[in-house]
A and B are shown apart, each in its own frame.
Chain A
Amino acid sequence: EAGVAQSPRYKIIEKRQSVAFWCNPISGHATLYWYQQILGQGPKLLIQFQNNGVVDDSQLPKDRFSAERLKGVDSTLKIQPAKLEDSAVYLCASSLVSMNTEAFFGQGTRLTVV
């Protein structure tokens, strides 16, 4: 079974530029999560989709971050404009359902903002 795919693996941009990350979850997984992980810390939930609807985006900085999950499959996370403090690993995860089930993670995209 193919895992969660993310691209790109690495991205370096200048502050105030925009950037987009892509995630393809495991086939059949209804729930998709985007997390931000700053070096040495645990993942922070940014947004959670159930199929193509948003169920939790309370920690998403909506003035600069946006995410969509068209057709309930692939998802993109965008940052515009980027700030230095956005430097982190952005992890995508998916699960069959949202309650008590395992979340499978991709390898993440490491973003460096200079």
Chain B
Amino acid sequence: TQLLEQSPQFLSIQEGENLTVYCNSSSVFSSLQWYRQEPGEGPVLLVTVVTGGEVKKLKRLTFQFGDARKDSSLHITAAQPGDTGLYLCAGASGYALNFGKGTSLLVTP
């Protein structure tokens, strides 16, 4: 089982601030996915990155896949209270899809 380390574990910021969440592993992945989970719900996919060095933007969210396909980052610009949730990275390798422990983000008005 490939281990994915996410940091920080918790993040509490005010509306309008920027933040970056990291996902690191010693393993190489064929792709890396980012999910967001709200209380009482299952995770929902935000983005999939496949190519080393790839950068994807989704409105105020910017995702980057490391050149070696072992790590990824999620940057949120001008965070809003609606961004509050648990952000999970998941690495795909072979048949398995394994998740990190997540970053719990709280954005206060």
**A residues near B, CB below 8 A?**
4, 31, 33, 35, 40-45, 48, 50, 55-56, 58-59, 91, 93, 95, 98-108
Interface of B is mostly: strand
**B residues near A, CB below 8 A?**
1, 6, 30-31, 33, 40-45, 48, 50, 86, 88, 90, 92, 95-102, 104
User: CB distance B30 to A105 under 8 Å?
Assistant: no
Could you show 30 A-B contacts with beta carbons less than 8 Å apart?
A33-B97, A35-B99, A42-B6, A42-B88, A42-B100, A42-B101, A42-B102, A43-B88, A43-B99, A45-B1, A45-B96, A45-B99, A48-B95, A48-B96, A48-B97, A55-B95, A55-B96, A91-B42, A91-B43, A98-B92, A98-B96, A98-B97, A99-B31, A100-B48, A101-B48, A103-B33, A103-B43, A103-B45, A108-B41, A108-B42
